[in-house]
Chains A and B, each alone.
Chain A
Amino acid sequence: MKTSDLEIIIKNLAPELYGYAYILIPDDLQAGQLIIDATQNFVLNKKFFIDKILNEEVSKEVTTEIQLRLFQAIYDIAKKRFHQIKLSFGKAEDKTNFFLSLDFEEKSMLYLRIRAMLEINQIEMIMNQDRSMIIAFLTDARMKMIQQVAVAADLGGV
């Protein structure tokens, strides 16, 4: 793989990266900056991994591996930033949006599982949590959403 191939792969992954960043930090500019910082972090600090993939052919497995590493970088940075800036977008966060009212970890896991369609072991790697914790978080997140949707349906909201 050439370095230009790696650049193209990352450019093509941008919409997925942005989607994940936005659900973690629901603000256009913050999410945009988040994916830029995560990519910078990945390119400048993961030299060993980049050297390894540059010796391999372009394949779906390599693309998935890059995507997972970038998701991991986004999660790590977002986790720190979320707690620092959550007050600033507290008002913007719509409480009637069942998904955005979930906890940070729950949102992350549910998005990765449902929208990004990742396996549990891949989510384990991104979030650095063990399998049982992830399954418990996922079940709780689903239950919370089911209950919120049901309540809203009873009130005639859904």
Chain B
Amino acid sequence: MKEPLRYKDFSCVHTKNIFSLLDLSEEDSMYSFLSSHVKKCTECSKKLEKYVENNLAIKVFVPKPFMSQDLRQTFNSELSDVFKIAGLNQIENKKKLIKQRLLSFDSAGTAMVQGLTSKNMLMIYLFVSIVFFSLKFLI
């Protein structure tokens, strides 16, 4: 890589654009135009060849950072917490559902006992027992 590519050195007006061939897909309308131009223009063809070669060389300078095990564990535990908060943890959801059902069952039971021991019900019990004993003595 002794001679770097510089935009100002390009004599053909298309040279700057032909580098996009690396990123354009074959279905792209520009791709067919540029690839046919490269076949005809020796300047562009040489520059593209050099650009591709240099591009391969710079790939090694693009880093691939490594994630430490500690950080990964922290991320995993944070993610589990986020899933719990968002209501996306199935085990937690089941626990919540069971708790809710038990609470509703409990409140229904409490309501029933309260109903059976209410003032009105006590009056009814008294009235029914008076009627029962009166009838029993009369008969």
Which of A57-65, A76-84, A144-152 binds B?
A144-152
Chain B nearest CB from A112 CB (Å) reads: 10
Within 8 A of A (CB), among B79-102: 79-80, 82-83, 85-86, 88-90
- Interface bits B65-87 vs A (CB < 8 Å: 1, else 0): 11110011011101110110110
Chain A nearest CB from B123 CB (Å) reads: 54
> Contact at A14–B67, with CB atoms within 8 Å?
yes
Q: How many residues of A contact B (CB 8 A)?
A: 50
Q: How many residues of B contact A (CB 8 A)?
A: 43
> Contact at B61–A149, with CB atoms within 8 Å?
yes
Interface of B is mostly: helix
- Interface bits A1-27 vs B (CB < 8 Å: 1, else 0): 011101100110011001100110000
The answer to the question of B7 belonging to the interface, with a C-beta cut-off of 8 Å to chain A, is yes
Residues of A within 8 A of B89 (CB): 3, 7
Chain A nearest CB from B54 CB (Å) reads: 5
> Contact at A114–B67, with CB atoms within 8 Å?
no
> Contact at B1–A146, with CB atoms within 8 Å?
yes
Within 8 A of A (CB), among B20-66: 20, 22-25, 51, 54-55, 57-59, 61-66
> Do A44 and B82 form a contact, CB below 8 Å, given A32-B74, A36-B75, A139-B20?
yes
The answer to the question of A40 belonging to the interface, with a C-beta cut-off of 8 Å to chain B, is yes
> Contact at A39–B79, with CB atoms within 8 Å?
yes
Residues of B within 8 A of A2 (CB): 90
The answer to the question of A87 belonging to the interface, with a C-beta cut-off of 8 Å to chain B, is no
- Partner-A contacts on B (CB < 8 A): 1-7, 16, 19-20, 22-25, 51, 54-55, 57-59, 61-68, 71-72, 74-76, 78-80, 82-83, 85-86, 88-90
11 A-B contacts (beta carbon < 8 Å): A36-B75, A40-B78, A99-B63, A113-B23, A120-B25, A139-B20, A142-B51, A143-B19, A146-B51, A146-B55, A149-B61
- Partner-B contacts on A (CB < 8 A): 2-4, 6-7, 10-11, 14-15, 18-19, 22-23, 28, 31-32, 35-36, 39-40, 43-44, 50, 97-100, 110-111, 113-115, 119-120, 134-136, 138-139, 142-143, 145-147, 149-151, 153-154, 158
